[in-house]
Amino acid sequence: MADAAAKTDPTEAMIASLEMPSGTWVQPLREDALARLRVMGLPQRRDEYWKYTRPDTLTQPEAPHAAVLDSDEAPMFGDVERLQIVFVDGVFDAEASDDLSLEGITIERLASADSDLHWAKNVYGVLETRGQTPVARPLAALNTAFATDGILIHVTGKPSKPVNLTYHHKSESSDAILHHCIKLDEGTELTLLENGPAAARFNKVLEVEVADRASFHHIRTQGRDHERRAATHIFTRLGTESAFRSFTMTVNGVLTRNDCVIELTGDDALAHVAGACVGDGDFVHDDTVFITHDAVNCESRQVFKKVLRNGATGVFQGKILVKAGAQKTDGYQISQSLLLDGDSQFLAKPELEIYADDVACSHGSTSGAIDEDALFYLRSRGVPEGEATDLLTLAFLAEAVDEIAHEDLRADITDRLGAWLQRHRG
Amino acid sequence: MLSIKNLQVKLDDEDKQILKGVDLEIKGGEVHAIMGPNGSGKSTLSYVLSGKDGYAVTGGSAALEGVDLLEMEPEQRAAAGLFLAFQYPVEIPGVGNMTFLRTAVNAQRKARGEEEMSAAEFLKVVRAKAKELQIDAEMLKRPVNMGFSGGEKKRNEILQMAMLEPKMCILDETDSGLDVDAMKLVSEGVNALRSEGRGFLVITHYQRLLDHIKPDFVHIMADGRIIKTGGPELALEVENNGYADILAEVA
């Protein structure tokens, strides 16, 4: 590659700035991803799926600096019995991590999984590749090519506790690329928890292969670091009667782009994806979801709620594609924003593309302010304005938070959202 | 208790005078009723007293136990002991009725410098009071007023009143949308709260509510003023002859 080209072509400039880790089975998969990336090129403002969110700080070679958050809030999931795996600025921290053995699953690190006949060969970059059409996701290809580490989990049973990936951000200039793969065998179950600010800039891919009758739960919290930039992707493929449930809480962050690409390939499968985000000021949060129904009698549900104030921006791009033959599809999509002032904005692009004739798909997108009548009603009962506003705001977020099945975690997430609202009153 | 003097109010965003000098004095233990034709300013009076946005006070005063109400925020008026039972109770999706009640009770206690009610104590009290109003556990669990019938909403208003124990209760057309049985139930709830230290202002179109909640005084309001005051017999006169005679009499 010529240096001159690197200077003019942002994709080549980015590639030149990175070093591809060496590996055994993963090597050809990385090379393939690099080739995909070169064909696609990194995202630009003119790309259809990047017109609301500026990609430049995600695609420039140097990660913009991000201050390290000093918080005295209790760590998330601290009360949950779990197997914890810790990454600091994208680097595995063996000291802080639990022993990686747990009955019903095998856990390995991408950086050290070097057996030639690795199961992850059929997952790593594979689901990502499937998710590149019809919409290109170059940052995910970049991740597959250059991820420095990640966790590979093969689920063969029903482990007694969730796996918790905890991230810590300690360096102002860290630029982390992690790639996790999870394969759930038939009839198995896993709950994955993710929390913590990961790095100044974070590019993460999570690929989840869910076999027939298997069930995957994912609860993730992003925040509270203010200056981070993150691009995350989830790629999942679902077998017959399987279930995928993912909830994300996002607080703060100058730029967070969460892509979720779901393929329902077995009959009677279920996919629920939800997000609750709160942003104040210099904040852009983008949920981009693509759900493909390619089997009979599957259910998908998207519930995204955003609370925005002081010029914060929320983006939602959600698509349901129902292929010919995917009869009895039940698709639901709701994206709503609560604008706490006149300066904030919510940009939504709901899309339905349906080629089957016996389906029920509904979608709705709204943007609104606090209900003045409800606010007065609460105040007339003695609830102070700030508290009443918080109560109504939490009620607005509740439809998304209620997607979390685990009662204690739901309560914990609600408390944290409540605490954020209290800190950010107008 | 409640002292309203020459209260004048116009709408915020249009130059329309709604109240043109209302005078009303309610003492502890008294029940006053206000009747009057549509558009006479009855509901405006209740909203202005409770602090709803959209109205501008252009003259006069309103005080609760000597404290100026009009300068206070709605929540401060509530903590001072004012309660408005809404004509149209608001539905609040996502906020549980129980959470709402407990938040309100404790917010008022906090504002008055009193100790907050514990979850267990609150539960005990609310269950007992709900039972009297035939409000079941299911209704307490649901979001505020969501999916409630007209009667259930009004009973829920009275439950709030019972929990908050205000000094001055304003009931804005609490009888609207109620069948005979529901009206009886709601009235019993109100009557149970009648006491020496508590005043009531009952706004209604119909005399029949006053068969259940017996007023000490009845006021007729028209065109932003109280034009006639009398005893319970005045309500019967309205019921029998309408407002025309009274309006003609004072004109």
A392 to chain B: which residues are within 8 Å by CB?
A: 92, 94-95
A379 to chain B: which residues are within 8 Å by CB?
A: 51, 73-75, 78
Q: Do B95 and A392 touch (CB under 8 A)?
A: yes
Q: Which residue of B has its CA nearest to A390?
A: B95
Give pTM, 2 decimals. Answer: 0.93
With H, G, I as helix, E, B as strand and everything else as coil, classify residue A140: helix
Q: Is the dihedral of CA A132, A135, A141, A143 positive or negative?
A: negative
Q: Do B92 and A398 touch (CB under 8 A)?
A: no
Distance between CA A41 and CA B250 in Å, rounded? 85
Here the tokens at position A295 are 């089997």
| Average of per-residue pLDDT across B39-57 | 95
DSSP for residue A173: T
Helix (H) or strand (E) holding A412: helix A407-423
With H, G, I as helix, E, B as strand and everything else as coil, classify residue A72: coil
Q: What is the pLDDT of residue A89?
A: 97
Here the tokens at position A235 are 């790629």
Contact partners, residue A107, CB within 8 Å, separation at least 6? A83, A85, A100, A101, A151, A152, A153, A163
CB A327 within 8 A of CB A359: yes
Q: Do A381 and B164 touch (CB under 8 A)?
A: yes
Please name the member of B75, B92, B144 whose beta carbon is closest to the beta carbon of A382.
B75
Residue environment code for B184-206, b if the CB has 16+ CB neighbours within 10 A, otherwise e: ebbbebbeeeeeeebbbbbbbee
Q: What proportion of chain B, given as a percentage, has pLDDT over 90?
A: 81
Query: Is B50 within 8 Å of chain A by CB?
Result: yes
Provide the CA A109 distance to its chain's centre, in angstroms: 20
Contact partners, residue A72, CB within 8 Å, separation at least 6? none
Give chain B as a DSSP string. Answer: -EEEEEEEEEESSS--EEEEEEEEEE-TT-EEEEE--TTSSHHHHHHHHHT-TTEEEEEEEEEETTEESTTS-HHHHHHHTEEEE-SSPPPEEEEEHHHHHHHHHHHHHHHTTPPPPPHHHHHHHHHHHHHHTT--HHHHHSEETTT--HHHHHHHHHHHHHHH--SEEEEESTTTT--HHHHHHHHHHHHHH--TT-EEEEE-S-THHHHHS--SEEEEEETTEEEEEE-THHHHHHHHH-SHHHHHHH-
- The letter for the amino acid at A372 is E
CB A321 within 8 A of CB A291: yes
Give tens-digit pLDDT for B97-131: 999 999 999 999 999 999 999 999 999 999 999 99
Give the number of other CB atoms < 10 A from CB of residue A342: 8
Phi, psi of A103, deg, nearest 5: -65, 135
Please name the member of B86, B93, B104 whose beta carbon is closest to the beta carbon of A382.
B104
Query: Is B75 within 8 Å of chain A by CB?
Result: yes
State in Å, rounded, how far the first CA of chain A is from the last one.
52
Q: Closest Cα of chain B to A377: distance in Å?
A: 7
Q: Do B86 and A399 touch (CB under 8 A)?
A: no
CB A139 within 8 A of CB A231: yes
Please name the member of A381, A385, A398 whose beta carbon is closest to the beta carbon of B104.
A381
Here the tokens at position A56 are 């430049």
Q: Closest Cα of chain A to B104: distance in Å?
A: 5
Q: Do B107 and A382 touch (CB under 8 A)?
A: yes
Query: Is B94 within 8 Å of chain A by CB?
Result: yes
Q: Do A382 and B111 touch (CB under 8 A)?
A: yes
Q: Closest Cα of chain A to B201: distance in Å?
A: 16
Place of tokens 């966790």: A151
Q: What is the pLDDT of residue A7?
A: 52
Q: Evaluate if residue B82 carries a pLDDT over 80.
A: yes
Structural domains present in chain B:
2-250 (3.40.50.300)
Peptide bond into A162 cis (omega under 30): no
Q: Do A379 and B75 touch (CB under 8 A)?
A: yes
Per the DSSP assignment, residues forming a β-bridge with A318 are A289, A350
- pLDDT tens, per residue, chain A with 426 residues: 445 555 569 999 999 999 999 988 999 999 999 999 999 999 999 999 999 999 999 999 999 999 999 888 889 999 999 999 999 999 999 999 999 999 999 999 999 988 877 899 999 999 999 999 999 999 999 999 999 999 999 999 999 999 999 999 999 999 999 999 999 999 999 999 999 999 999 999 999 999 999 999 999 999 999 999 999 999 999 999 999 999 999 999 999 999 999 999 999 999 999 999 999 999 999 999 999 999 999 999 999 999 999 999 999 999 999 999 999 999 999 999 999 999 999 999 999 999 999 999 999 999 999 999 999 999 999 999 999 999 999 999 999 999 999 999 999 999 999 999 999 987
Give tens-digit pLDDT for A373-412: 999 999 999 999 999 999 999 999 999 999 999 999 999 9
Best mutation site among B69, B95, B145 for testing chain A: the one with the most A CBs within 10 Å?
Answer: B95
Query: Is B73 within 8 Å of chain A by CB?
Result: yes
* ipTM value > 0.90: yes
Please name the member of A377, A394, A399 whose beta carbon is closest to the beta carbon of B90.
A377
Give tens-digit pLDDT for B134-163: 899 899 999 999 999 999 999 999 999 999
Q: Do A384 and B107 touch (CB under 8 A)?
A: yes
Query: Is B33 within 8 Å of chain A by CB?
Result: no
